[in-house]
Structure 1
Amino acid sequence: MTSAEAMRTEAAALLRAAPERLRVPFDDEDLRRWIEYRPTPRRPGMGLGELGDDGRKAAHRLLATALAPHAFAQAMAIVALEEVLDRAEGYRRGRHSADYWVVVFGTPAPGERWGWRFEGHHLSVTMTLDGDTVYSTPVFFGANPLATAYRGRPVLAPLAPEQDLGWAVLDAVPRNLLPQVVRTATAPADIYSGPRADVTPPPPGLPAVELPDAARDRLDELVALYLERLPADIAPRVDRDRLSFAWQGPAVRGGRHYYRVQGPDLLIEYDNTADDGNHAHTVLRRPGSDFGGDVLRAHRAARPH
């Protein structure tokens, strides 16, 4: 079964298990072209806390159609961290792991334009479909705390690979090239793309073709990590020779830091600056193809209404 087929199957099951207010018209651009990874009192669709057991399970099954097994495990750990964060904050904000929302745009049927989103604090996954074509971004994963340890031993760190491979790329950059890679001594407060539907990519970093082989190999691993959050049949294809890598913040471990990878219709960002460097945001975006790009406009041009 292709990912598109699986999404149609699970979205239809979700709509059977839950009330119709899960569904929003596909051409509601304000709600469909939406990413909000910060806490907010309400989102489009229904929260997991409003769904019964069957509805919650259907929502999780739908999410699983868009993520590889390891990425689905990361997503579920991010959801669980809401309870950990709530405890750390003294339960002042009432965070909870049922405060994640699912919504379906349009009708999940063969040949149709439709989409869906699973979203809450530090997690936003949006899939847009035009028939069997899946536009598989944006995909946002965050974590607070980034890592929990017991006497120096890790207990839970769902975004450890994203952090470790970022450092591996920087460590492999020769000292004479560091000034071209490390753009500023301080990291930005958040990812540049932010919670915005439309992205203006920041300036590119050092071209990958100018990196030595060791650094390029690590960069390839880093890019693969983000692309392989998705099943192989819907993961973006990228030209590795047209990528660039940029870093902001100290070039030594322990400081607040940020990196990005860019290429044609590709933006990967990682930012770890809040809470003394123990609170990370990561995102995989395609600035020209997020939310289906111009799929709605193209559809209307091909089929005048």
Structure 2
Amino acid sequence: MRRAAGALLAALDEPARARAAYRFDDTAARRWLEYRPLPRPGVCLDDLDRAGRKAAHRLLATALSPAAYAQAMAIVALEEVLDRAEGWRRGRHSGDYWVAVFGDPERDDRWAWRLEGHHLSVSMTVVDDQVSPAPVFFGANPATVRHAGRPVSRPLGVEEDLAHALLDAMGPAARSAAIIADEAPGDIVSATRPRVDGPLEPLGVPADRLGPTGRALLDQLVALYLDRLPPELAIREAARIDGGSHFAWAGPTRRGQRHYYRVQGDDLLIEYDNTADDGNHVHTVLRRPASDFGDDVLAAHHREAHR
């Protein structure tokens, strides 16, 4: 990450570097999450030359597994699909993604970066060579593009399929505890808040009330989101999660209906909603409420510095 971030800044001319570079202590800009097509901090990839754009993609690839990087590129490409579906009225384009670097990655012991645009936001904080990898937001609109009834594009399909399989594997009592509302919320509940204070209520069904199949599917669902990260980060993050996770579902259980789910555990929040555009517009996020934007590694750094 240090090498990739340094290469990105070196690839930019002075005006672009000035737009991309922020102080690490610019908290408002650093603790930022915005998955809608709105103004955001940083420099736009569309304003960079090919070398600058490639450097930004190489930096993004340091934070994502190969499969998640493929999902991210499919999400970016959907901007052109959505613009066509809207009659080209809004001028959406696949270059409308922005990168920002906070601090000096080659010299500072604490620094951060983010690459973000419509339906994609990846934030990484590095302190003393420890990486704090959250929030990570992926969305898709349209969630599914079909031809003759068959999907030809569905970048977040596994996130939906595994949750349905988990719900189907539950017995009546567990399913009753898991379904917290008959209607899904209009969006993920954590939204764009820079902090998530406390667990989201109600919690839903605890993992220890699921049978062996349900528990295995819940583990697979959590692993799917953690595996958006490179293997060494995913393994570390998985080790931080205890067995006290909960799964909650809102909305109808039939496929094709507007629905929402979340998983919460020790310093873990996963949210998914497919509620807009008649259930063909997905938002997903991996957050760590006590550790988002590097709160965990920053706290450890301060403890060590003041020991």
- TM-score scaled by structure 2? 0.93
Contact persistence 2:241–2:268 (CA under 8 A): no
Aligned residue number for residue 134 of structure 2: 137
SS in 2 for 1:104: strand
SS in 1 for 2:232: coil
Within the candidate set 3, 8, 13, 2:7 is matched to 13
Instruction: Give the partner amino acid of 2:5.
Output: A
SS in 1 for 2:243: helix
Aligned residue number for residue 96 of structure 2: 99
Aligned residue number for residue 54 of structure 2: 57
After superposition, give the CA deviation of every residue in 1:232-268 in whole Å (9 maximum; x if it has no partner): 2222124352111000001222211000000010000
Rate the CA distance shift 1:210–1:297 in 2: closer, same or farther, 3 A: closer
Greater Cα shift, 14-23 or 258-267:
14-23
Rate the CA distance shift 1:296–1:215 in 2: closer, same or farther, 3 A: closer
Query: Hey, what's the Cα distance between the residues in 2 that align with 1:15 and 1:111?
Result: 14
Within the candidate set 144, 154, 158, 2:155 is matched to 158
Aligned residue number for residue 271 of structure 2: 269
Rate the CA distance shift 1:254–1:240 in 2: closer, same or farther, 3 A: farther
Contact persistence 1:64–1:72 (CA under 8 A): yes
Query: Hey, what's the Cα distance between the residues in 1 that align with 2:46 and 2:57?
Result: 13
Rate the CA distance shift 1:296–1:212 in 2: closer, same or farther, 3 A: closer
**Structure 1: 5+ residue runs without aligned partners?**
1-6
Contact persistence 1:220–1:240 (CA under 8 A): no
Contact persistence 1:24–1:106 (CA under 8 A): yes
SS in 2 for 1:124: strand
Within the candidate set 56, 68, 73, 1:71 is matched to 68
Query: Hey, what's the Cα distance between the residues in 1 that align with 2:183 and 2:270?
Result: 19
Instruction: State whether structure 2 residue 125 is matched by structure 1 residue 125.
Output: no
Displacement of 1:177 in angstroms is: 2.2
Query: Hey, what's the Cα distance between the residues in 1 that align with 2:296 and 2:262?
Result: 25
Query: Hey, what's the Cα distance between the residues in 2 that align with 1:71 and 1:300?
Result: 32
Aligned residue number for residue 227 of structure 2: 228
Query: Hey, what's the Cα distance between the residues in 2 that align with 1:300 and 1:106?
Result: 17
Instruction: State whether structure 2 residue 256 is matched by structure 1 residue 254.
Output: yes
Within the candidate set 178, 189, 197, 2:175 is matched to 178
Contact persistence 2:128–2:301 (CA under 8 A): no
Query: Hey, what's the Cα distance between the residues in 1 that align with 2:24 and 2:253?
Result: 45
Aligned residue number for residue 3 of structure 1: none
Aligned residue number for residue 148 of structure 1: 145
Query: Hey, what's the Cα distance between the residues in 1 that align with 2:63 and 2:34?
Result: 18
Instruction: Give the partner amino acid of 1:32.
Output: R
Query: Hey, what's the Cα distance between the residues in 1 that align with 2:303 and 2:256?
Result: 52
Instruction: Give the partner amino acid of 2:122.
Output: V
Greater Cα shift, 113-122 or 201-210:
201-210
Contact persistence 1:111–1:132 (CA under 8 A): no
SS in 2 for 1:293: helix
Aligned residue number for residue 219 of structure 1: 218
Rate the CA distance shift 1:206–1:128 in 2: closer, same or farther, 3 A: same
Give the % identical residues: 59
Contact persistence 1:110–1:131 (CA under 8 A): no
Query: Hey, what's the Cα distance between the residues in 2 that align with 1:211 and 1:110?
Result: 48
Q: Which runs of 4+ in 1 moved over 3 A?
A: 294-304
Query: Hey, what's the Cα distance between the residues in 1 that align with 2:214 and 2:299?
Result: 41
Count of aligned pairs between the two proteins: 297
